[in-house]
Amino acid sequence: MKYYIYHVQRGDNTMTEKSADLNWFNEDKLPAAPKRKPVPVAVRPDNRRRYTRFAIDSTQVTLHREGLLAALSLGSNKALKVCDLSQGGARILVTERIPAKQKVRVRITLEKYQDRIEMTGEVMWCYSSTNRKDFYVGIKFSTEDAAAARKMVALQEWFTSPQYQALRYRR
């Protein structure tokens, strides 16, 4: 393929052929450029969770720091609401900052289903909410209680089922 460079000087239009195009017929005789092997890049997945999160309606939640008062349910409740839940943990809106690695006891009461789940866990992270008064905490549940783990599996199956989704969006 040839292309031309136009020179415009004092009204004189002249066309000049670029010298690189004069040898276009020798292009196939040139050695091929070495092919680069693609370098694998480690991709960090967007969602590293082990279990699917699901929203849960009509619940009451209590969260106490682990200790003697929590065992007796005498400490002050720090939780406002469950934002989402999974078999492995929960995101809960709380009234005060709770440090990471803090052991906590969570009780979620499902009013509509007249059931309750109590789990112990560990705070993995804590961030302030948009109103700057409350905080979101991520809690990783410990898997010591097999009955609570079975309840969590059943909850996840129900709250992620097509039947529940159809009922939820019909309201």
> Which residue range is the domain that position 160 belongs to?
59-170
Whether residue 142 is contained in a domain is answered as yes
Whether residue 77 is contained in a domain is answered as yes
Whether residue 117 is contained in a domain is answered as yes
Whether residue 1 is contained in a domain is answered as no
Whether residue 78 is contained in a domain is answered as yes
Whether residue 44 is contained in a domain is answered as no
Q: In 3D, which of 132, 135, 39, 140 has the Cα closest to residue 93?
A: 135
Residues 6+ apart with CB under 8 A from 52: 86, 156, 160
Number of domains in the chain: 1
CB 110 within 8 A of CB 154: no
> The pTM is what?
0.64
What CATH number is attached to the domain comprising 125?
2.40.10.220
For the stretch 70-109, pLDDT in tens is 556 566 788 889 999 988 899 999 999 999 999 999 999 9
What number is the average pLDDT over the span 149-166? 85
For the stretch 31-82, pLDDT in tens is 666 666 655 555 455 556 678 888 887 889 999 888 766 556 566 788 889 9
Whether residue 24 is contained in a domain is answered as no
Whether residue 153 is contained in a domain is answered as yes
What number is the average pLDDT over the span 157-166? 85
